[in-house]
């Protein structure tokens, strides 16, 4: 879906102040309340804005160790492996991939020793043949979307 400059400004404002009301949003954007509400509704219904939940830092919850595990799975076991990994709370994300592995997991743990427990739980499933794990040393560019939003608004033809 293509977005324009007003959509981008609305998204940036929501990213900066997720609890802002529509009336205040419309005031800051310099548009009618109905326009702000219609834009917000359209962005939500088209899946551009997926939620308004809090951003939670795993380290602040006591999980300062982050790692990525590349998993090779037994053919035909994808559904079962995904179901298994969904039961492990320390698996924050799971992506199916091309290349040397079949799946990529982002994991967190309380310590390096606890990471071994998490990995053992992850790979302790018959459908996982092999795992390769890399511990994150630094998150130099945290997950960010706003630069992409701004780029998409500048060139709506490419979106």
Identify the pLDDT of residue 53: 81
Asked if residue 154 belongs to a domain, the reply is no
Domain holding 101, by residue range, is 58-135
Shared-domain flag, residues 103 and 63: yes
Number of domains in the chain: 2
What CATH number should be reported for the domain holding residue 63? Answer: 3.30.70.920
CA distance linking residue 101 with residue 28, whole number of Å: 47
Shared-domain flag, residues 96 and 129: yes
CA distance linking residue 42 with residue 148, whole number of Å: 19
Identify the pLDDT of residue 158: 56
Sign of CA dihedral 89, 79, 143, 122: positive
Lookup result for tokens 């954007």: 29
Identify the pLDDT of residue 71: 97
> Taking Cα atoms as reference points, which of 33, 40, 44, 46 lies closest to residue 2?
46
What CATH number should be reported for the domain holding residue 36? Answer: 1.10.10.10
Question: In whole angstroms, how large is the CA radius of gyration of the chain?
Answer: 20
Shared-domain flag, residues 91 and 28: no
Shared-domain flag, residues 9 and 49: yes
Identify the pLDDT of residue 157: 63
The low-confidence residues of the chain, meaning pLDDT below 70, are 156-159
Shared-domain flag, residues 9 and 46: yes
Which own/partner pairs from 56-64 qualify as long-range (CB within 8 Å, at least 24 positions apart)? 58/92, 58/108, 62/110, 63/90, 63/108, 63/109, 63/110, 64/108, 64/110, 64/111
Identify the pLDDT of residue 8: 95
Asked if residue 103 belongs to a domain, the reply is yes
Asked if residue 29 belongs to a domain, the reply is yes
> Taking Cα atoms as reference points, which of 107, 74, 102 lies closest to residue 90?
107
Give 81-97 pLDDT, tens digit per residue: 999 999 999 999 999 99
Instruction: Give the distance from CA 14 to its chain's centroid.
Output: 17
């Amino acid at each position: 879906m293509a977005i324009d400059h007003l959509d981008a400004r609305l998204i940036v404002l929501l990213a900066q102040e997720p609890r802002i009301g529509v009336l205040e949003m419309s005031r800051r954007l310099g548009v009618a309340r109905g326009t702000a509400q219609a834009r917000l509704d359209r962005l939500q219904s088209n899946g551009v804005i997926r939620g308004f939940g809090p951003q939670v830092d795993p380290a602040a919850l006591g999980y300062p160790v982050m790692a990525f595990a590349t998993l090779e799975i037994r053919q035909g076991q994808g559904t079962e492996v995904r179901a298994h990994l969904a039961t492990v709370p320390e698996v924050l994300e799971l992506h199916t991939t091309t290349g040397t592995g079949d799946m990529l997991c982002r994991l967190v743990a309380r310590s390096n020793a606890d990471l071994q427990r998490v990995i053992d739980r992850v790979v302790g499933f018959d459908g996982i043949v092999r795992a390769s794990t890399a511990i994150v040393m630094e998150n130099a560019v945290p997950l960010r979307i706003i630069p992409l939003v701004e780029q998409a608004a500048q060139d709506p033809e490419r979106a």
